[in-house]
Amino acid sequence: MLEGGINMTTKQQISKAVIALGAAVLLSSCGNEGTTSDGKVQETAIRGSAVILVDEEIAGLLEPAKKLYDKAHPDAKVTFQHVSSRDAVHNLLDGSARGIVLARNFVEDETQAVTAANRKPFPQSILAKDAIVFYAAKSFPYDTMSSEHIVMWFRGDLKSDSFRSQYPNLNTAPTFVVPGVNSSVTANVVNIVLNGKSPARGSLTSLEGRDSVKTYVLRTKNAIGVGLLSQFVRDTSVKLLQLSYRDSAGVYQSPKPVHQAYVAMKKYPFIVPIVMMLRDPVGQYNLPGGVLQYLARTGDVQRTFLDAGIVPGYARIELTLPE
């Protein structure tokens, strides 16, 4: 089991994080190398070849983990192919993808497709916890925003004049921008921000790719980009807007720094799972299953998520707050 500790300074920023692996997960094949009936080497959880489809929004996040995997498994030839989250799920549902890694869960029509096909749930594991963030140019006149106002805007319940009355330093209502309709970011606006509801027409602007969204935000007054914490936590060219919100008990929570510590404490409203899903069950002769176990349970891999500014999926995190 993986254990970790996070200590916070008086500014409530993580100052030190230590993750120690108490018990390594070792994947090994039984006996000598076997062969299939046609003479090929038998695939195992640590040997063979496989393609894993990876959500393009987290391609960079998984690079360190992939390097660790390749070093630890010289007999496994695993390729991470970057695609949109929508394409990844489509290929999993039609059986052509053996494994996918997403920064989201299924959206409604994907869940309906699984139900209609009478499929068993796909084997899966949470690798880490990320978050949906709202970012703006440093010249944007506000550092904080109400998540309730954002939700109302996306639902079409808050009109432009009303939005401006809440934020009088804005001369127009902000333009919220997402990186493509097939991205996991847009899916999480539906799943997490709007609790499964589609955004109102005109409440979101879609551009192709994170770089296009960021360029637009930096060049356009009152533009707000939507992205993932892992993408922008160390990007000093933009600022992450701190969000107030009401928790599940209806208690008002004041804006706090957009930081992994608050994701770990569940003190942030829009937390996103990083999930790996498999077509086939984990087993001794399933290489993608071995990849899932390695990414989810290996200490060095989980540490890469911590180092990337998000929360590892299988770390025990202890937060020490100032007295």
In angstroms, rounded to a whole number, what is the distance separating the alpha carbons of residues 164 and 166? 5
Q: How many residues does the chain have?
A: 323
In angstroms, rounded to a whole number, what is the distance separating the alpha carbons of residues 177 and 185? 10
Residue 211: Cβ within 10 Å count: 10
Average pLDDT over residues 144-164: 95
**pLDDT tens sequence across 35-73:** 666 667 799 999 999 999 999 999 999 999 999 999 999
Average pLDDT over residues 64-83: 98
Res 49: pLDDT: 97
Mean pLDDT of the chain: 89
Domains of the chain: 2-128+274-320 (3.40.190.10), 130-271 (3.40.190.10)
**CB-based contacts of 277, cutoff 8 Å, min separation 6:** 92, 99, 100, 101, 102, 122, 123, 124
**pLDDT tens sequence across 171-205:** 999 999 999 999 999 999 999 999 999 999 999 99
Order across the sheet with 242-246: list the strands: 144-146, 242-246, 252-253
Strand partners, 319: 6
Res 54: pLDDT: 98
Res 1: pLDDT: 38
In angstroms, rounded to a whole number, what is the distance separating the alpha carbons of residues 313 and 101? 14
**pLDDT tens sequence across 233-278:** 999 999 999 999 999 999 999 999 999 999 999 999 999 999 999 9
In angstroms, rounded to a whole number, what is the distance separating the alpha carbons of residues 186 and 236? 23
In the predicted structure, residue 169 carries a pLDDT above the cut 80? yes
Confidence of residue 34 (pLDDT cuts 50, 70, 90): low
In angstroms, rounded to a whole number, what is the distance separating the alpha carbons of residues 313 and 292? 12
Q: Is residue 272 within 8 Å of residue 188, measured between CB atoms? A: yes
CA atoms within 13 A on the CB side of 275: 17
Res 317: pLDDT: 73
Structure tokens at 110: 């994907």
Confidence of residue 218 (pLDDT cuts 50, 70, 90): very high
Average pLDDT over residues 73-102: 97
Res 167: pLDDT: 95
**CB-based contacts of 79, cutoff 8 Å, min separation 6:** 49, 50, 51, 52
Confidence of residue 116 (pLDDT cuts 50, 70, 90): very high
Res 3: pLDDT: 41
Tokens 């996040």 -> residue: 61
Q: What predicted TM-score, i.e. pTM, was given to this entire model?
A: 0.88
Res 38: pLDDT: 66
Res 35: pLDDT: 64
Radius of gyration for the alpha carbons in the chain, expressed in angstroms and rounded: 21
Res 132: pLDDT: 98
In angstroms, rounded to a whole number, what is the distance separating the alpha carbons of residues 301 and 67? 10
Res 322: pLDDT: 52
Share of the chain above pLDDT 70, in %: 86
Q: Which amino acid is at 149?
A: H
**CB-based contacts of 162, cutoff 8 Å, min separation 6:** none
